[in-house]
Amino acid sequence: MAEEMVSKNFIEQEIDKDLQEGVYDHVCTRFPPEPNGYLHIGHAKSILLNYGLAQKYNGTFHMRFDDTNPTKEKTEFVESIKDDIQWLGADWKEHLYFASDYFDTMYECAVLLIKKGKAYVCDLTPDEIREYRGTLTEPGKDSPYRNRSVEENLALFEGMRAGQYKDGEKVLRAKIDMASPNINMRDPIIYRVARMSHHNTGDKWCIYPMYDFAHPIEDAVEGITHSICTLEFEDHRPLYDWVVRECEFENPPRQIEFAKLYLTNVVTGKRYIKKLVEDGIVDGWDDPRLVSIAALRRRGFTPESIRMFVDLCGVSKSQSSVDYAMLEYCIREDLKLKRPRMMAVLDPIKLVIDNYPEGETEYLDAPNNLENEELGSRKVPFCRELYIERDDFMEEPPKKYFRLFPGNEVRLMNAYFVKCVDYEKDENGNVTVVHCTYDPETKCGSGFTGRKVKGTIHWVPAPYAVKATVRLYENLVDEEKGVYNKEDGSLNLNPNSLTVKEIYVEPNFEDAKPYDSFQFVRQGYFCIDAHDSKPDALVFNRIVSLKSSFRLPK
């Protein structure tokens, strides 16, 4: 029997080649976030890609915080990132590291480069360094400090470490090629003076390595084989290779770039989200209108849905954007067979069944999910007074309106046929009560085969109804105007991105916990809010509506 052909992405093909040629005898990948904000949906692709490759090749996955810039890093971000990665299902086991764990090694590497004549201390100001660097079409020019002796550079660098110079007064630069067509190779800065407390190392250091110098050393120290990163680092690859080569690491890691995951009409920029949080427009980095992983989780997305989304997006070298509707498709697909379908009324009016015995209650069977019998059924109390949706009644309906109107008969879901006989209005002309009669012969499940009705509506028993709060979300930004204002770069915010309503739900939520999700019949999928919901005051976030025009391409 012929072996089944398995389609592999370009990264897997490169790894296969490296293993076959003996470049490496194992696979070790890593996810290296900077702890300067919360992770977003784009990071999920990198997490799942790196973890997935380690799993596929029976290798090792490392979790490492690239904490080389203490100006923006917080322990809060470290903890949130760990939570997100574990929630997505990526398991680093004992391999949790911090770049700051290697500051001594990085310093030794810098000293080695100085001794080899490959690095020098430079006194140019940041503006002068930019001026000397040249442009994309013109080469740079050498710093006047480029030819200092090894001894002088060693002494100056030790002075930098000892705190003898002000912030920004001196930097250590790699000595490569100021005429290189790749600007990243024009004597990049590899260390700067910065008197800042670090969340991990405290005040031990007053000099800190630059990302492009630190990152390849971290990978090499940990024995990473394949450094999988996004396309903006493609031009940095020659510097990555230069660092691990000149620092004389054996079996150096190999950098491979892939295209980022871009979602249409969403805000992912950390400085924008920080401002939204500070201005009180959102209630934190995990506000359900954002696409941080914590926000998606709070809204009710599942790890399975995000993994499905990342798989559908695929891995490629070409940049492209994905419609947010595809993410919504994935959560619907994941939840539709897993979650119970409950009854909730979001815009209630009262329905009174005039001929139902006053004070009587019966408990009706309601299947939890018609598409998945394994979820079983529950009992729902039924009585004379119910709540129904306001738009399930019309005084003067249009054609093909099959719900309640004077003289029309519908089925109450899992209950009886009821016929509209009258209605009441308030002084403003708004309908407040609909009066019906019911036919006791038409009980759901009784085998009634008489007349048919075209409409079925859901309901909640008024005396047993549980008051709750629901949050209905639209896109945080105005999709017609685009995410950013072209004139000043500000966000085009949608003033209707959040609607809060008081609703009624059926009395079957006693055991509901934060993050539990449900389908509300005809309304969409909803999740118990993790921050604000309490057992006696439920708060639901709408994850997604029931239907979408999105279809997977064939």
Please indicate if the annotation marks 110 as binding a ligand.
Answer: no
Q: How far is 501 from 327, CA to CA, in rounded Å?
A: 25
Specify the pairing of strand 466-473 against strand 539-544: parallel
Q: Which of 547, 548, 540, 544 is nearest to 346 (CA)?
A: 540
Please indicate if the annotation marks 408 as binding a ligand.
Answer: no
Please indicate if the annotation marks 225 as binding a ligand.
Answer: no
Q: Which of 300, 305, 268 is nearest to 472 (CA)?
A: 300
Q: How far is 205 from 104, CA to CA, in rounded Å?
A: 10
Q: Which of 467, 431, 429 is nearest to 352 (CA)?
A: 431
Please indicate if the annotation marks 553 as binding a ligand.
Answer: no
Please indicate if the annotation marks 54 as binding a ligand.
Answer: no
Q: How far is 220 from 227, CA to CA, in rounded Å?
A: 10
Q: How far is 505 from 528, CA to CA, in rounded Å?
A: 13
DSSP conformation letters of 285-340: TT-TTS-BHHHHHHHT--HHHHHHHHHHH---SS--EE-HHHHHHHHHHHHTTTS-
Q: How far is 405 from 458, CA to CA, in rounded Å?
A: 15
Please indicate if the annotation marks 223 as binding a ligand.
Answer: no
Q: Which of 505, 522, 519, 500 is nearest to 386 (CA)?
A: 505
Q: How far apart are the first and last CA of the chain?
A: 29
Please indicate if the annotation marks 42 as binding a ligand.
Answer: yes
What tokens appear for 342 in the block? 């409950």
Residue 217 near residue 102 (C-beta atoms within 8 A) = yes
Please indicate if the annotation marks 217 as binding a ligand.
Answer: no
Please indicate if the annotation marks 361 as binding a ligand.
Answer: no
Please indicate if the annotation marks 230 as binding a ligand.
Answer: yes
Please indicate if the annotation marks 40 as binding a ligand.
Answer: yes
Please indicate if the annotation marks 182 as binding a ligand.
Answer: no
Q: Any bridge partners for residue 227, and if so which?
A: 255
By CB atoms closer than 10 A (0-12, 13-18, 19+), residue 521 is buried
Q: How far is 166 from 222, CA to CA, in rounded Å?
A: 33
| DSSP H helices in 336-419 | none
What tokens appear for 5 in the block? 């052909």
Sequence letter at residue 318? S
Angle formed at CA 153 by CA 147 and CA 158, multiple of 5 degrees: 165
What tokens appear for 358 in the block? 């006053």
Please indicate if the annotation marks 180 as binding a ligand.
Answer: no
What is the DSSP code (8-state) at residue 106?
A: H
Residues comprising the binding site for L-glutamine?
A: 66, 211
Residues comprising the binding site?
A: 34-36, 40-46, 66, 211, 230
Residues comprising the binding site for ATP?
A: 34-36, 40-46, 230
